[in-house]
Amino acid sequence: MIETDKAKNVLVTGGTRGLGLATCEHLARAGYRVIASGRGITDSLQTLIDDPSLSGLVTFRSLDLAQTGEIRLFVRDVAKEYGPLYGLVNNAAIGHDGVLATMHDSQIEELIRVNVLASILMAKYASRSMLGRRAGRIVNVASIIASTGFSGLSVYAATKSSMIGMTKSLSRELGKAGITVNAVSPGYMATDMTSGIDAAKLETITRRSPLGRLANVDEVAAAIVYLMSESAASITGTNITIDAGSTA
């Protein structure tokens, strides 16, 4: 049994489903204490919280990232309750699709607020907690769409490109304090966000992959756990692609 009072604290945004949920499980099984955030808890996350083999290592705190004014106090309260943060996984994102010329301004603003502004503010306040200990890890979840493009996802692509740009610059700001900042860029995976993609398009994407399949959330979560580890102490400012080779 892992001693939870000695576990390093990692905050995972969007930790209630999909990649975020898988990341919470992989981190907890690696011995980290995980604070999952989301607008509301899911049955899947509750099952993980109740897992007796992970007792005390996974908790949930409610946060709507669209309410960016709440982020500072949220991070402060998490640090007060659990102690200083060691890691942050900026995973939460939304994915409105649509041709830019006809997309509602409100949808564009929501994408930028949740995917970009909230992630920047999360990194800002979480890094303050890490600076005091001169150690920490930040992992930003980007996407291969940032480099490949995809019709109907121009705004989403812009938000994910921002994750890579922030990663590179922030790694330089925080490196001397022993804090690494990296990104992971997943390819298409079977998640709620991709459930609306036409089956024929997914089949085409799968055929183009050298491995003949899509990546899965467990593979991406494993990469995130690696970047959190001491083994990755010399890796910073890097973007790791996990896409079954579809961008090769």
pLDDT (tens digit per residue) in 92-132: 999 888 899 999 999 999 999 999 999 999 999 999 999 99
Residues serving a catalytic function are: 156
pLDDT value of residue 25: 98
Q: What is the pLDDT of residues 223-241, one digit of tens each?
A: 999 999 999 999 999 999 9
181/166 Cα distance (integer angstroms): 9
CA angle 149, 15, 179 (to 5 degrees): 80
Read off the tokens for 38: 């989301």
In the chain, what percentage of residues exceed pLDDT 90? 80
102/131 Cα distance (integer angstroms): 43
The count of other CB atoms within 10 Å of the CB of residue 192 is 10
Looking at the predicted structure, is the pLDDT value of residue 87 above 80?
yes
Name the residue among 242, 235, 228 with its Cα closest to residue 185: 242
Q: What is the pLDDT of residues 142-188, one digit of tens each?
A: 999 988 888 788 999 999 999 999 999 999 999 999 999 999 999 98
200/120 Cα distance (integer angstroms): 35
Domains and CATH numbers, the chain: 9-241 (3.40.50.720)
pLDDT band, very low/low/confident/very high, at 245 (cuts 50, 70, 90): very high
pLDDT value of residue 233: 97
Complete DSSP assignment for 142-196: --THHHH--TT-HHHHHHHHHHHHHHHHHHHHHGGGTEEEEEEEE---SSGGGTT
